Amino acid sequence: MTETPTSDITRLELDGREIILIGTAHISQNSVDTVREVIAAEQPDTVCIELDAQRFQALRDRNRWESLNLIQVVRKGQVPFLLANLALASFQKRMGLQTGVKPGAELAAAAETAEEHGIAVELIDRNIRTTLLRAWRKTGLWRKLQLLSTLLASLFEKQEINEEELDKLRETDTLSAMLEEMGDLLPNVKQILVDERDAYMAEKIRRAPGQKLVAVVGAAHAAGICSRIQQPADPQTFAELDVIPAKSMISKLIPWLIPGIVIALFIAGFFFGDRQAMADAAVAWVLVNGLLSAAGTILAFGHPLSVLAAFVAAPITSLNPTIGAGMVVGLVQAFIAAPTVRDLEHVGEDLANLRGWWRNRVTRVLLVFLFSSIGSAIGTLVAFHWLKDLIR
C-alpha cells in the first residue's frame, strides 16, 4: 500500500485499487466544498460515507420528527437512547450555528453529489444503537456516571468556534491529543466510539465495490482507518464488532436488589420490629419517593397531572424493576400535553439552545421522564435513612 496525504485528503493504493480518504469536520463549510469538489473531479466507482442507515435516513429526511411516535418511545423504554442522541446532536448543533453549517452537511453533500453523478453510495459506519449500547454495557458504574454527567453538561455548555479553529481541529496532532485525553478519562468509551469504528469502517471500505473509491469520514477517524485498512480483518473479529454485549449478571441483579432489601426490611419490621416505626417508615417511603419524583417533574415543567402521577407512581414503581417512575410520568405527559405540529417541526432548531429543550413539548416529555426518574432514585436512597430503624 502507498499513501499520499494532502491536507485533509489521503490517497491510498491498496491491492491495485485507489482509495481517496477525506477527513472532515462535521460542521465546516470547507469540508462541504472539499467533498463536492473531490467527488466531482475524481468520478469514483463508489462513495463511502461515515453513516449507518438510521443516521442516513435522519440526515435526508428533515421532517422525520413529524412521524415520531413519542408514546411508543416512552413505552418501549427508548428514552435514554433518544436523549443521548439528542444531547450529542444539541452540542453539534450549537457549534454548527457558529459557522452556519448544519451538522453532517458534508456527509449529506457526499451522498447528493454521488447521486448527481450516478455513483454508488456505501454506508460504512456501524449502527449508532449498537455503538451506544456497546459503550454503555462495557463501562463500569463510575464511568457511566461520568459519561452521563458529560452528556448533561453538554446541554449547558456554550461553545464558540470558527472556521479557523475547525481547520486546526483537522490537524492530526491536535486530534491525537484530544483522543489521548478522552482515553485517559473514559478508555472504554474511546475504544468503542473511535477505535472500534475505525476498524469497522476500514473493513467496510475494503469490501466496497469498485476500483476507485472516495471515503468521507470524520477527521478523528482518518488516521485510524489508514492504519487498519492495510490488512483485512478476521471475519469473526469483524462480526463481533456488530454484537451488542449481554447485560452482566450484576446489572441484572442490581435493579432487583434495592426493592428486595426494602421489602425484606418491611417484612422484618412487621414480625420483629416496632409496628409504629414500620408505619412511619412506610409513610416516609411514600413521601420521599413521591415528593422528589414530583419535584423532578416540576423541574422539567411537567403538566400538573404529570406531577400528581409522579407522586403516586414513584413509591410503587421503586419496588418494581420492570417499570420505572419515568415511564409512567412520561406517558402521562405525552397524553396530557401532546406535542403540537409546531413542536414536531422545530425539534431540530430547539435543540440548539437550553430554553428550547423546555419549550418544545417533544423534548419536555423526555425531560419529564429523566427528571422524575432521577427524583425517584434519589428518594429511594434517602428513604433508607428511615428504613434502617425497622428492625431495631
Per-residue pLDDT, averaged over 348-357, amounts to 71
More confident residue, 317 or 348: 317
Q: What is the DSSP letter of 323?
A: S
Per-residue pLDDT, averaged over 319-347, amounts to 81
Integer Cα distance of 165 and 148 in angstroms: 27
- Among 142-146, 159-163, 376-380, the range of highest mean pLDDT: 376-380
3 state SS of 217: strand
Residue 345 pLDDT exceeds 50: yes
Q: Where are the alpha helices (DSSP H) in 300-392?
A: 304-317, 325-336, 341-345, 347-350, 354-359, 361-387
How sure is the predictor about 311, in pLDDT bands with cuts at 50, 70 and 90? very high
Q: What is the pLDDT of residue 170?
A: 47
More confident residue, 204 or 264: 204
Integer Cα distance of 373 and 241 in angstroms: 32
Residue 166 pLDDT exceeds 60: no
At residue 289, φ and ψ (nearest 5 deg) are: -60, -50
Q: Where are the beta strands (DSSP E) in the chain?
A: 2-6, 9-14, 17-24, 46-49, 120-123, 212-218
Residue 99 pLDDT exceeds 90: no
Task: Write out pLDDT tens, residues 209-249.
Answer: 999 999 999 888 888 999 899 888 888 889 999 888 877 77
More confident residue, 271 or 228: 228
How sure is the predictor about 66, in pLDDT bands with cuts at 50, 70 and 90? low
How sure is the predictor about 20, in pLDDT bands with cuts at 50, 70 and 90? very high
